[in-house]
Structure 1
Amino acid sequence: MLEKYGHGGDLLTAAELYGNENSRFLDFSANINPLGPPPEVLQLLQNSLSSIIAYPDPGHRRLKRLLADSLGTDSSWLTVGNGAAESMALLLLALTPRTVGIVEPCFSEYRQLSEQFGAEVLSVYGTIEQGYRADVDMISGLLEKVELLFLGQPNNPNGIQYSLADLRLLAQKAESCGTYLAVDEAFIDFIPEAERNSLLPELEQYRHTILIRSMTKFYAIPGLRLGFTIAHPELAAAMTGKQVTWSVNGLALLAGEACLTSGHDYEKRTRTLIISERAKLRQGLLKLGCEIPPGEANFLLCGLPSPWSAEKMQTLLGRSGILVRSCAMYPGLGKGHIRVAVKNAADCSRLLQRMGEIIAEETGDRIGMREGGVRNE
């Protein structure tokens, strides 16, 4: 199985399974900006290698000031982490919840981290009719039973947002229950600002709501790891109090600062590319017989045509040097679900072409066997 460690983007495991060198893989299993990092970030990192002789700022002060200016908040509301995963871990360490709620299917770290820190995990399920979005009344009911609830916005792996009205209802419910609501906005930067449903502008009204964001996906720096949370200053301070000193390295902090000062052209080009290529990729997958929820992020959840399994398609694509994410292990999904990142036009065309060839080859083999032919090995 490619997801040996529970996530996509594992090139070493792919090399072990499929025998290719890492650089030869076309990786649709990790949802990273296909433009790569902003040029300013790469230049700054090259010019700053000598800074590794100094300790990074344990208070992340310059990055927090830039984030606060960008988000329209105060730096006391911010906690910077070694990726969004550390931000989630710090939240769990600060709150020590006995029960955690999740909305399946969802990012596997919600359950994994919660159980790792000793919490019981309760869940509700999205429905195929709603693109694997769960009914808001079900989520509201779950808030009454847990001490912390994680909600993806847009959700991974289906890429669908909840409405602003739904988010407000859930945030208000969390206040009345005394439950904490952690809204994971790791992929929200890929959505045009006018189309984002976020409680950020009104977060001061909801003391029990936390927003979790990632800089590694949108700015294509997953190897550096950088994420942050926006939460009431008391909770932000409690999270920081649980953080290992220097968990965010100096180059990651510099890269984050460069990302936030790189200008709007990179952001605009990214969103334009994602919107255009996502639509074309979705149409191409639909033509192959797949079922695709109309996601808004930089990835698509794909239900393969029967009788294809995620394992078989992943293996055959992997042998061709193309990696996709199996979602067969996601509670609430089936054995035929994969997730594919949105990449540039040439890469998406290559994926669609190879998937089409694989499906056609397999269909031809089955027809040949039914007609008494001999399958060539």
Structure 2
Amino acid sequence: MANLHIHGGDVYRYPHMLDFSANCNPYGMPEGVKKAAKEAVEKADCYPDVECTALRKALSLKEQVPMEQIICGNGAADLIFGLVLALKPKKALLPAPSFAEYEQALQASGCEIRHFFLREEEEFVPGQDFIEEITEDTDMVFFCNPNNPTGVLKDLDYIKKIAEKCRQCGTFLVLDECFVDFTEQPENYTMKPFLDEYSNLFLVKAFTKKYAMAGLRLGYGFCSNTEVLEHMHRVMQPWNVSVVAQAAGEAALKEKDYAEETLKKIQIEKEILLKGLKARGLRIYGSKANYIFFQGPENLREDGLKQGISIRDCSNYVGLGEGYYRVAVRTKEENKKLLDALDAIQRQSGKEEGLWQKQL
């Protein structure tokens, strides 16, 4: 059976590798979250709160979004599938490359998918031509900002133009902001302040990356159209957010110092890693979040595994071919190991250091 769920973070098939393939906070799950999760196990003999009341109340205070406009799920993917199942779009527009779950959810509902292929010669940056592709027969548009895997970040003026075109065409816009907190000044890029203005907008977020909680599975979404949220509740399975995940989420929202300190460290280390990758002749694109997207030699992932390093081969993304990769920004020591591994690969290939760019 073919595995459709090919992502980074496969520590089960590659247990002894230093993992740069998943974009989680490299400083690990906060201790307060671990403690809350352990304590919640004692309550796991009961069903979880089907309405996630305490968690949604905490999210409302933290995100400054009305509680009734918040929905929680078993990771962001759960909400994406639930939203598609609720709205049942017939035709959808997707930029490519982008997060694979959008297409999987749409395919599962029998939706016709139209791809807008982002061009390498334009640095994979969408422009006005993407907005023009939104037509009256487009039921749903997915847009990830910053995009995964490219890390391309568009400003609010551009996102609002997409939202406005969608409103004019009667199109529902799903905006994925799962990585916006890793950008500099994220408050300048989020569409949260405009939720009431656009009833055709759904924002996707998650605890996964920021708090290193991938295994606990906890995502959330914002939408001012409460009818949409009610419809999602009707089609999604009940008790989809466990007792442990809800408790962990509440605890994570209290980790203000952890979030501020680690996000600041990641920004510093990203600049150092970017400089190191460029010095080794690798072509960088976007990369405005906590990961770096680049073009390099084929077989780089396999060569990296031989060095004990796991990176994300992006060739399975729609719109990409061989030779595109993504690496997470990790700690200073770990990032140095990645750069040292790249140097070793270059030496073994018989090429002088820094000459990869000339081969691309």
Instruction: Please give the TM-score of this superposition, normalised by the length of structure 1.
Output: 0.89
- Of 43, 46, 57 in structure 2, the residue corresponding to residue 54 of structure 1 is 46
Equivalent in the alignment of 2:25:
33
- Of 240, 245, 261 in structure 1, the residue corresponding to residue 238 of structure 2 is 245
Q: Following the alignment from structure 2 to structure 1, what is the Cα–Cα distance between the partners of residues 168 and 331?
A: 45
Task: Give 1:4 shift.
Answer: 6.8
Q: Following the alignment from structure 1 to structure 2, what is the Cα–Cα distance between the partners of residues 340 and 346?
A: 15
Aligned residue identity for 1:83 = G
| CA deviation profile, 1:148-206 (whole Å, cap 9, x unmatched) | 11000110001121111111111111111110010001111212445641211121000
Q: Following the alignment from structure 1 to structure 2, what is the Cα–Cα distance between the partners of residues 62 and 131?
A: 43
Aligned runs of 1:1-377 on 2, under 5 Å? Answer: 5-14=5-14, 22=15, 24-193=16-185, 196-231=188-223, 232-262=225-255, 264-304=256-296, 308-309=297-298, 312-363=299-350
Contact kept in structure 2, 1:84 and 1:213, CA below 8 Å: yes
- Count the aligned residue pairs: 349
Q: Which runs of 5 or more residues in structure 2 are unaligned?
A: 353-360
Aligned residue identity for 2:13 = T
Task: Give 1:130 shift.
Answer: 4.0
| CA deviation profile, 1:307-358 (whole Å, cap 9, x unmatched) | x21xx11112112221111011223323110110010110000001101110
**Rg: which structure is higher?**
1
Q: Percent identity?
A: 32
Tell me which protein shows more helix as a share of its residues: 1
Contact kept in structure 1, 2:97 and 2:118, CA below 8 Å: yes
Aligned-residue CA RMSD in angstroms?
A: 1.6
Task: Give 1:10 shift.
Answer: 1.2
Q: Following the alignment from structure 2 to structure 1, what is the Cα–Cα distance between the partners of residues 53 and 46?
A: 16
- What SS class does the counterpart of residue 301 from structure 1 fall into? strand
Instruction: Please give the TM-score of this superposition, normalised by the length of structure 2.
Output: 0.93
Q: Following the alignment from structure 2 to structure 1, what is the Cα–Cα distance between the partners of residues 311 and 242?
A: 30
Q: Following the alignment from structure 2 to structure 1, what is the Cα–Cα distance between the partners of residues 205 and 185?
A: 15
Contact kept in structure 2, 1:175 and 1:206, CA below 8 Å: yes
Contact kept in structure 2, 1:98 and 1:147, CA below 8 Å: yes
Task: Give 1:96 shift.
Answer: 0.3
- What SS class does the counterpart of residue 173 from structure 2 fall into? strand
Q: Following the alignment from structure 2 to structure 1, what is the Cα–Cα distance between the partners of residues 351 and 165?
A: 55
1:196–1:157 distance in 2 versus 1, CA, 3 Å: farther
Q: Following the alignment from structure 1 to structure 2, what is the Cα–Cα distance between the partners of residues 234 and 313?
A: 48
